[in-house]
Structure formats: structure tokens, C-alpha cells
Amino acid sequence: MANKSTADKVATIQKGYALEGATIELGAAIVDGELHKDAPVRLPLSMMNRHGLVAGATGTGKTVTLHMMAEQLSTAGVPVFLADIKGDLSGLATAAAGSDKLAKRTESIGQAWSGKTFPVEFLALGGDGDGIPVRATITSFGPILLSRVLELNDTQESSLQLVFHFADKNNLELVDLKDLRAVIQFLISDEGKEALKELGGLSKATAGVILRELVTLEAQGMERFFGEPEFDTAELLRTAPDGRGVISCLELPTLQTKPMVFSTFLMWLLADLFEDLPEAGDLDKPKLVFFLDEAHLLFNDASRAFLEAITTTVRLIRSKGVGIFFVTQTPKDVPADVLGQLANRVQHALRAFTPEDAKALKATVSTFPVSDYDLEETLTSAGIGEAVITVMNERGAPTPVALTRLRAPESVMGPSAVDLVRSTVAGSALLAKYGTAVDNVSAYEKLTGKAAASTGAAAPGQPPSPSPEVFVPGNPDPTAIDDEARRIEEEILGRPSSRQPSTGQPGGGSVPPAPARRQAPQSGGMMDDITGALGGVLGSGLKSMARSMGTQLGRELLRGVFGTSSRRRR
């Protein structure tokens, strides 16, 4: 390879990126220090759901790269989701102004540049910032993601799953933090001790730890992110009237103070999409491309269950037409099981100022195919707006490695004016749907007896409101619990059960239903049903086995791989 001429190297790149279908144009190749605009580097649109990585040291242009890619995806009719951590991406709504310097750069790479605006929907978690409020209910968020936010250990996470199981089975809707707090307070009260005993494996001390963490979360102002109306993640799949994909830009203005919360919320959005979308197979273009900036925040100090759930989601959501691009500093920030699924690589410059930097550089080089470049030298000398690229071609093979001068965005590389952002939000069709928080009857009202008090006379001319169910504590139903354990043994574990089917109350009568109990679907719940019933009835020794079954059962059960759930799927 060292003896190849520049012309031969350029020809290799030209042949490797001679693609037939629609593409995302990334830039022009640099070979032996010279820019060759006749050697364009591009990414097949049909391969965008094979996921990717945009990496590089701070200040090397990662955000500009995802900005440029988002513009072209939108133009191709593909919706895009961006997490706006630095506040720079709102500029997608404002056309960029040309300059002599810009014209010189774009002409050098063969880019026909013109300033443009793009259809942008501004979102904000819980209304924290200028954007349509994005909220999730506690029950939708699920125990695994919530355990991540609360920084619980494995034992405490398992216990929280049992709490969710109890709430699910007793029709106690977990909408916001006060609902979950009310359920836990009930379970550790004298009134709830029988219910706590039936859960098995949930100690009063552990419940107290979870309760204290919830109080801390509320003290930090996190209660605004949980509630109703819950954001429907299908909103992320919209296109504008002119056919361009809508770019959903989620503002994260206080990420530095609450990184765990924000990164976990992003994973909830992805997990909810994963559960809702049908299988799509190979498509000409993805249904959505998801960019996760500062991706290392997802993985730092993550539990094994959380990492397994991310890996499963990334592996399987491709077949549903969704592409995920992780944006971070080095490939080492991403676990190997996830990194192995990222077929498209855009690697900006790395620095080697310390021994740790040098190790990261060598590790990064080792992940690229053999190439005509000295990658250690190339990655440390690449300029701002340049990147080493290899992607998956239309046949599913990696393209040649190419140092690339990247295209320039056509909208503003920086924030749009505040007035423009606010007027865009005010004119959004989503504002009426999600703009105002509501507090419906849920677990808190049922457990504190406020549900009955909240029902009054109907407004004049309106039909009377139905009386909500009030939870009646106590009276555990051991027969129903035994039936559930038998069903799990026979239907899920696939073995005969030694438990006899119930024939009713002593004397042959029918068994009355448990108070306010939701009827279980035939397929059962996910880790909540399995862990709760097996842990409480068959013995806590089977809990770890039950939990490990979660990723195998996937969407077949009520809760997804993260333990997430949604009223839309119930």
C-alpha cells in the first residue's frame, strides 16, 4: 500500500463511493494532503438505519457534522431527532448568510451551496426551556430507566420492579412522582404490610431508600418531567407539508447539572419508539434518524440491566426503520457490544496530549478497516471540519477509509433568535396538545382517598363524570396469586405446575376479584409480572432467572426491554 500512487488512492475512493441510490453527501476526499472534489464521500440513505458514530475531540466539528447531516435527511423526507445540548442547533430554523470564505470552501469540495431554512419543532423536557413540553408518565418510563435516574443498585432496582408490579396489578396508575411515592408509603405502612409481604424480596429498608431518593429527585425540581399529557413519540415521525422531514430539536439547557436525567429521558424516547413501531425490513430510507449527543452520559456507571437493554434496543430497532447515531469524543465511550453495531463512522480529530489520550488513539485506529492512510498521524493532524470516514455501502460492505473535508451547513451554525424560536413554538400544532400539564386521578388520589372527593357535580350541560375507582388496601388474594404463579410456570417457563387450579372459595364458591385489580393480558406482563409473581410465590431464588428472561420475551409481553409501558399499548 505504501507504494500506491496518489492517483491509485483517489481511484480506490472514487470506486468505493460510487453508489447508485439516494445518498447523504458528506464531502470530498483528501489524499496525500491534497483535496480532490472529484472524489466525493457519501453515505447511502438506505444504510442510515445501520446506525453510526460521530466522534472526535472537543471543538473539532462534531455538532456541525450532525447539523449538516440533519439538513440533508430532512431534504430527503426523513424526520430527524436532535438533542440540543449546547443550544447551537436551533439555527436550523434560520437560513445562513454567505461569505467569501464560505464560498471558497464550498467551491473547493464541489458543493452547490445556498442558505436555507428547515422545518424544526422545538421541544423541551417538562417545559424546561423554550419548546413544546415533553413529559412521560412514571409507568411509561418504567423501573429500569427510573432506577438509572435514581442511581439505585441492582437490589434496589429489583425492588422497584416489584413496586411497579404491585401498582400494575392493583390499578394504581403511576403518572407522576407523588403517585409512586404514595404507593411506596402505603407498602411500608402498617396498612400495607400484608401487601408488602406478598411481594416477597422487597424489604421495608429498601423501600425507604427508594422513597428518600424520590424525595431528593423532587427537591431538584425533577417532578416537572413526569406527568400528563404524555408525549407521543410518534410525533417524531412527522413530515412537513412540502414533504421534508421535520427536525425535532430537544433543548437541554441544564444538562450539566442533571446529565443522568436527560440522557435517560433520551433513551426513554427511543425505547418508546422501539415498542410502538412495527417491523419494516429494508427500506429505501429510514423512518427516523436519532442523534444522541454526549453519548457517554448514557453509559457512565450504568447498571448491567441498563446496558443490556440499550444493546438490545440498538440491535433490534434497525429492522423498524430507525437509525441511531451516537455522538461522543472517542469510540471508547461506547460499550463494545453497542460499538460493534455502528456501521457508519465519522471520526474527527483526536488529541494525544496524555498517555490516556495515546491509548484512546490506538484503540480508535484499531476499529477502522485497513486503509491507505497512516491513521494515527491522520487523526491527530486533521483540521476542524475534517474527518476520517468509512460507511456501509449498498451491498453491506465497508467503504474505503477516506479523510474528508466536510460539507458546510446551509442554515445558521449557532442559535436562532429567541423570538423566532418562541414564535415557532407558539405556532406549533403540538402546543394545544402538550402545552398545559394536567393532573388526573391516579395512585396518589386513590390511596389518599382524594379520588372520591374530587368527583363533584357535572358542569351545566355536561354529562356526569364517572366515579373513579378507589383502591381498597388489604385483603390479599392468595388464590389469585397462586393462579398467576401456575400460569407463569405453564405458559412462560413451559413446564407442568404442581399447583392445582383454583375452584373458588372453600365450599365451591367463585373467587371474588381483588379490589380494583386490572385484568392481566393473556401474554402476561414483562419483568414486573415474572419477577413479582415468581419472587413472591415461587421464592426469591428464581428472581434472577425471571429477570434474565425479559430480553428474550421482548415485545411479546406488556413491558418492554427497559420495563417501559404506555397506555397506548395497554
Q: Where are the alpha helices (DSSP H) in 200-349?
A: 204-219, 259-276, 296-299, 304-317, 336-339
Q: What integer pLDDT is reported at residue 309 of this predicted model?
A: 80
Phi, psi (degrees; rounded to nearest 5) at 144 = -70, -50
Q: What integer pLDDT is reported at residue 462 of this predicted model?
A: 39
**Dist. CA 473–CA 517, nearest whole Å:** 11
Q: What integer pLDDT is reported at residue 419 of this predicted model?
A: 95
Which of 308, 317, 450 lies closest to 48, judged by CA?
A: 317
Q: Which residue has the higher pLDDT, 241 or 220?
A: 241
Q: Are 353 and 319 in contact (CB under 8 A)?
A: no
pLDDT band at 470 (very low <50, low <70, confident <90, very high): very low
Q: What integer pLDDT is reported at residue 483 of this predicted model?
A: 62
Looking at the chain, the whole-number percentage of residues with pLDDT higher than 90 is 49
With a cut of 90, say whether residue 346 has pLDDT above it: yes
Q: Which residue has the higher pLDDT, 301 or 500?
A: 301
Q: What integer pLDDT is reported at residue 3 of this predicted model?
A: 76
Q: Are 43 and 26 in contact (CB under 8 A)?
A: yes
**Dist. CA 337–CA 309, nearest whole Å:** 11
Q: What integer pLDDT is reported at residue 502 of this predicted model?
A: 59
Largest CA distance in the chain: 93
Q: What integer pLDDT is reported at residue 523 of this predicted model?
A: 36
In Å, what is the CA distance from 117 to each residue of 95, 244, 409, 415, 428? 5, 11, 10, 13, 16
Average pLDDT over residues 329-355: 90
Task: Provide the terminal-to-terminal Cα distance of the chain, rounded to the nearest Å.
Answer: 59
**Dist. CA 527–CA 161, nearest whole Å:** 7
With a cut of 50, say whether residue 325 has pLDDT above it: yes
In Å, what is the CA distance from 564 to each residue of 67, 267, 419? 30, 11, 37
pLDDT band at 86 (very low <50, low <70, confident <90, very high): confident
Cell of 174: 403511576
**Dist. CA 527–CA 519, nearest whole Å:** 17
Phi, psi (degrees; rounded to nearest 5) at 26 = -100, -35
Average pLDDT score, the chain: 81
Average pLDDT over residues 304-310: 80
State the sign of the Cα–Cα–Cα–Cα dihedral 4, 6, 8, 13: positive
Q: What totals of helices (H) and strands (E) does the chain contain, helices first?
A: 23, 12
With a cut of 70, say whether residue 549 has pLDDT above it: no
pLDDT band at 78 (very low <50, low <70, confident <90, very high): very high
pLDDT band at 475 (very low <50, low <70, confident <90, very high): very low
Chain segment 370-414, per-residue pLDDT in tens: 999 999 999 999 999 999 999 999 999 999 999 999 999 999 999
Q: Which residue has the higher pLDDT, 534 or 437?
A: 437
**Dist. CA 227–CA 48, nearest whole Å:** 33
**Dist. CA 20–CA 38, nearest whole Å:** 17
In Å, what is the CA distance from 281 to each residue of 180, 394, 459? 39, 15, 51
Q: Collapse the DSSP code of 51 into the 3-class scheme (helix H, G, I; strand E, B; otherwise coil) and give the result.
A: coil
In Å, what is the CA distance from 210 to each residue of 146, 156, 179, 482? 11, 7, 13, 28
Find all residues with CB under 8 Å of 245, minimum gap 6, and list them.
73, 74, 76, 77, 78, 79, 80, 119, 239
195: number of Cβ within 10 Å: 19
With a cut of 50, say whether residue 557 has pLDDT above it: no
- Which of 212-226, 234-248, 440-454, 463-477 bottoms out in mean pLDDT, i.e. has the lowest? 463-477
302: number of Cβ within 10 Å: 18
- Which of 111-120, 138-147, 265-274, 541-550 bottoms out in mean pLDDT, i.e. has the lowest? 541-550
Check residue 172 and report its DSSP letter: -
Chain segment 488-531, per-residue pLDDT in tens: 445 544 456 555 665 544 433 333 333 333 333 333 333 344 34
Cell of 51: 446506525
With a cut of 60, say whether residue 59 has pLDDT above it: yes
Q: Are 1 and 32 in contact (CB under 8 A)?
A: no
Q: Collapse the DSSP code of 411 into the 3-class scheme (helix H, G, I; strand E, B; otherwise coil) and give the result.
A: strand
pTM to 2 decimal places: 0.79
